[in-house]
Structure 1
Amino acid sequence: MIYLVYGQLYLYKQLEEKGGSLVLGFAIILGIVIVATLLIWVVGYSVLLKFVTRMETRWQRIMHLLSRVERSTNDFLATLDQYGKLPAGTTESLEKVMEDMQDPANERGDQLHAFGILNDRITFLFEQIDADEDLNDPELVEISEDLNTTLTLLETASQSYNYAVEKYNKSLTVIPTKYVANVHQFKPQLMLDETVHRLSSSDHAI
């Protein structure tokens, strides 16, 4: 009888030790999983922030160039007006376009669409100047060169921005950034050429 009691106590002690080991092992594994998950989360969020920062920095470059276009355009219109070569209503209509171009409340594609309209109208005015032999002002030539330089810079900046958007959008489809993006509501962004094409092919007009 005594041997049976001791045997039962021994078995209970063994089971208790094994149970404690299992609990400890489970706790260790759970801790490792939690730490690994947190590390992956932090890395994924940092990567997303890096792409967003890069994208926003390049957009700010575009906005700076658009401001430069607006200043040059105002100088250009003022000079044409001095010579009486500015068609009636041109300043008012282009001011509305430039306002839309610079309005941060508009979508980025809308802003670039407004710039496209401005660019077309300025190009038309330049063609009229070239055809006017009586108008040969060095200031107009200088403004024209400045605008052309800015347009080239804008093209390069737009390509750079699109590249950043492409990298950002790709990060939303791969692990671990995919899961982080879903939780924190990171949304895909349209590239500029896609947005402008969408607007120009619709009935939208500025």
Structure 2
Amino acid sequence: MGFSIILGILIVITLLAWIMGYYVLLKFVTRMETSWQRITHLLAHVERSTNDFLMMLDQMGKLPAGTTESMEKVMEEMQDPSNERGEQLHSFAILNERLEDLFEQVEEDPDVKDPELTETSQDLKTTLTLLETASQSYNHAVTKYNKSITAIPTKYVASIHQFKPQNVLDETVKRLSSSDTAI
């Protein structure tokens, strides 16, 4: 009688630990995916704003030759769902560098004083800042998730349910940048 009660209590405790561990893992996966959805939304906004910005510069005749094609190629890589998340952000980093160069050219040119261009430029800069914040949020969620799949109670749940460690975006972008796969 005593053995069956102890065994029953152990089974209940094990099931509760299992359910709580699974819940914790799902919570972190949900946070990661929510953060990534925000990043993809911001990347799409950057693409739309960049196209508007390039079109305005082209209409003014201030766009260097070949810029539109190279930027479109980078934006395609950035929005390609078959690419890893880090690869998409690496493409964004390349796009960001090129946009910074264009921003500098526009600011240095005294002939360019279009208020619509200034507004689009400010919108792009704001979105780039928001994207940086969203990336930090994603990295924080990934770090917490990776810690949770190595902690003792959830470690066993993670291994049985095939939860795999995720890469922090900064590490992936640095790895891609160091391999110098510029587009």
Which TM-score bucket, shorter chain as reference? over 0.9
SS in 1 for 2:163: coil
Aligned to 1:33: 10
What is the CA–CA distance in structure 1 between the aligned matches of 2:68 and 2:105, rounded to whole Å? 16
Report the equivalent of 2:94: 117
**Identity across the alignment (%):** 75
- Unaligned ranges ≥5, structure 1: 1-23
Could you report, residue by residue, the CA deviation over 1:100-142 in whole angstroms, capped at 9, with x for unpaired residues? 1112221111011000000111111122222222221111111
Unaligned runs of 5+ in 2: none
TM-score (norm 2): 0.94
- 1:76 maps to what in 2? 53
Higher relative contact order (CA 8 A, sep 6+): 2
Deviations 1:24-75 (A, max 9, x none): 4433333332222111111100000001001110111111111111111000
Alpha-carbon distance between aligned partners in 1 of 2:115 and 2:126, rounded to the nearest angstrom? 16
1:55 maps to which residue?
32
TM superposition score normalised by structure 1: 0.84
Q: Does 1:198 align with 2:175?
A: yes
CA distance in 1 between counterparts of 2:54 and 2:33 reads: 31
Q: Is the 8 A contact 2:94 2:182 kept in 1?
A: no
Aligned to 2:20: 43
Give CA-to-partner distance per residue, 1:171-202, whole Å, 9 cap, x none.
Answer: 01112111101111111111111111111111
Aligned length: 183
The yes-or-no answer on 1:149 pairing with 2:126 is yes
